[in-house]
Chain A
Amino acid sequence: MNKRELESILKKALPPEISSESLEMFPRRLVARLKHNDSPNRAVRNASLRLAWAFGLAACVVIVFTASHWRGRMEAEAIPAKDCLASIKLVREMVAMFPNQVCAIVEDDHGLHLVLSDKDDVPASPPLYVRICDGKHCSSFVTFSGQEIQVAGQQVTVLSDSQGGIILEGNRFVWSSDGENYAEKNLKIEAKTLGATL
């Protein structure tokens, strides 16, 4: 068999006929998928967005770190009037970036870090801001009702009711926003909702 004969045989070989139904449905299925979750250059845009967020977070950590040094350790118990986590914008954008995956955004002595669920199974609910100081260290985090967060060396369960009341349950305390508290004296706790469901 020479080269021409081989090419002739190869070119005579046709792939299986695709049914007209499949030809019709294929673009439709694709369009449906695109309408649902894709947009041109999503990958590129996501990369840029993540980069921007990385810079944003890094800046936030630097500000927090600088501010905490400037204030000195004696002021550690004081709850800052404004910190990164109290910004609803930051929380909203984090949740938009990882929909139904954000368990918590924690800020402690090591900086800011994000706690994500492996699956997108975190129900949408109003974000809750919590700050716990134990006399030496302070940790604050934003989370959602029903989440269990490892913070300040203990597991904290955060719950909220439909009236906006918040209950925190840790290994060494039970704290409620309506004033029913059982906690060690040196624990100082603050909690509030950060607005409506994101």
Chain B
Amino acid sequence: MAHMAGSDDESKLIEQSLSGDPEAYGALVNQHQKMIRAIAFRMTGSLDDAEELAQDAFLRAYQQLAVFNGSSKFSTWLCRIAINLSLDWRRRESRRDEIYSKWAADAVSENHPDVGFPDELSRRVQVALDLLPVKQRAAVVLTIYENQSHAEAAKNLGCTEATISWRVFAARQKLKRFLKDLAHEQA
């Protein structure tokens, strides 16, 4: 996914946001919402949850804007906030699912059928992603969909590069199994 470079316009919008101009921040949100909402969707598998999560991520970023020091791209910083919020979200969801396991099972089976995927491949890939442990999924989202290096992903997820490599490796093995029918169809 393409990122906005740290342009002058973006820096200006960040400055204006810091001086308390929500409209300027709205413009930043507009520029980055597709990326953040896509990350949130891949992590949650639900459009509603993704929207809520994206909103939380942008609010969190706004509250911590002064901490952003420009050492990374603004989009990378936003991505870090969104992915970490989604990990917390998954933890909360898992706890809730344990308590309400019966309803959770129903929810999982109802989660994907028709949330507006452009094609069957996209739907099946999302189902496969949802079957991955959440940390492996986050590693896949960052390295494959956000084109981050293992070093960048490690920084964003607060772990070592070796851990990311292992998670991506393990995720690939599982995804190959989950998607083997799809590979035959594609061939």
Partners in one complex: yes
Q: Does B59 contact A (CB under 8 A)?
A: yes
Closest to A13 in B: B125
Contact A28 B26 (CB under 8 A): yes
The complex places the Cα of A4 from the Cα of B118 at a distance, in Å, of 22
**Is B85 interfacial (CB-CB < 8 Å)?**
no
Main secondary structure of the interface of B (DSSP, over half): helix
Nearest A residue to B45, CB-CB: A15
Q: Is the CB of A16 within 8 A of B118?
A: yes
Say how far A14's CB is from chain B's closest CB, in angstroms: 5
B17 touches A40 (CB 8 A): yes
B28-36, B70-78, B88-96, B153-161: which one contacts chain A? Answer: B28-36
Q: How far is the CA of A34 from the CA of B182 in the complex (A)?
A: 44
Count of interface residues, chain B, beta-carbon cutoff 8 Å: 49
8 Å CB interface, A1-34 against B: 1, 3, 5-7, 9-18, 22-23, 26-31, 33-34
Cross-chain contact B118 with A30 (CB below 8 angstroms):
no
Residue in B27, B115, B118 whose beta carbon sits within 8 Å of that of A14 in the complex: B118
Shortest CB–CB separation between residue A56 and chain B, in angstroms? 24
Q: What is the CB-to-nearest-CB distance from B180 to chain A, in angstroms, rounded to a whole number?
A: 6
Complex CA–CA separation, A5 to B180 (angstroms) = 10
- Which of B116, B179, B186 interacts with A17 by CB under 8 Å? B116
In chain A, what residue has the closest Cβ to B140? A10
Q: Say yes or no: is B117 at the interface (Cβ < 8 Å to chain A).
A: yes
Residues of B within 8 A of A42 (CB): 63
Inter-subunit contact A31/B25 (CB<8 Å): yes
